[in-house]
Structure formats: structure tokens, C-alpha cells
Amino acid sequence: MKNYYEILEVNRKASKEIIDKAYKVLIKKYHPDLFEGEKQQYAEKKTKELNEAYNVLSNQFLKEQYDVELEKQEERQKIKKQSETDKKEETQNQENNDEEKQVKRPKVGTLESIVELTKRLIDLIKNREKREEIKEVTRKDVIALLLTIVVVAIIGVALWFIPFTNGWMRELLFENPLFSWIGALFS
């Protein structure tokens, strides 16, 4: 449904005199004889729209009927917009709930990711059925684990050769039962 008020560039509460003036100004502005080519075709179309709008808005009975229909249309549009907004919000809420339900993976290279990777690898070794999960173990996690091991080893070697920490490292390596057990595995 066309908005005749917009076509005549007047307010909905405009009086008959204002509608008459607006029509006269616009009909002079868009008169087809003033243009050529494509602009003339546009002016003809615009003139038809202006005449249609003026015929409805200048007749009190037609104007009242038009206003009622226009209000109904605007109400339907408001309901439609509200419905679309509600659907968007519902979809967004559903997506947020889905994201919350998903398992959050720790950042790569953190202690959490190393622990998670180790747990997954142990599960894979124990359960042959879960071997499909190895696809989830990313290359970055494995690289992060290896880099962590290398960094810890380098720090350990550096601490071994620093005189101040050498005694502490000897105590840690030779008197700690865990490291004694690991050393026994490799000897």
C-alpha cells in the first residue's frame, strides 16, 4: 500500500489547504513537459502517483478510509517487526545456550591444554573405541606439549649449571622418589 502522505510530502495531520498547496507545488515540479527522455518517463510516473494521492487525500471520505487502512498496515508491520525481533532473540539465545553446552577447550600452550591432551591420550590408549577422538587432538596441542617439554628440559639444564642452584637441582634429582623412579626407568 502506497503512503500518499509521503508522496505528497505532507504530515498525516495536514489540513486540506496544505494538501492542496503541496499537490500544486509538486505537480508543477514534476510536470512531464519540463523533462526529456528517461526523466520525462519518471516525471509521468510521479505525476500519476501525485494525482492518485491527491484524489484520495482531498476527498474527506476516502481520506478517512485510507487512514484506517494505513493504520492497520502499520500495526501489521509493527507486529511483523516484533515477531522478527523475537525470532532473532530466540535464535541468539539458542546459539548462546548451544555454545555454553559445548565443552570449552583451554588455550593452546597452557598447562590446562597439556593436562587435557594427556588425559585424551591416556583415554585413547585405554579405550580402542575412542580412537576416533584422536582426530580432535590438534597438531597445535601436540606441538605445544613438545615445546613445553623442551623448555622445561632447557630450564633444568640451565639450573644445573648455575652454581647457586646446582645443589638444589642435585637434591631434586637424586633424592626425590619420583625422579629416582624415572631415572630407574631409563637406566
pLDDT tens across 169-185, in order?
A: 778 777 878 777 777 77
Distance between alpha carbon 167 and the CA centroid of its chain, in Å?
A: 57
pLDDT value at position 149? 92
Query: Which pLDDT score, from 0 to 100, does residue 150 have?
Result: 94
pLDDT tens by residue, 48-78: 999 999 999 998 888 888 889 989 988 888 8
Q: How many CB atoms lie within 10 A of CB 35?
A: 15
Using only C-alpha atoms, the chain has a radius of gyration, in whole angstroms, of 40
What is the location of CATH 1.10.287.110 in the chain? 4-98
- 14 burial level (CB within 10 Å; 0-12, 13-18, 19+): middle
Superfamily of chain region 4-98 = DnaJ domain (1.10.287.110)
- Positive or negative CA dihedral for 96, 102, 107, 112? positive
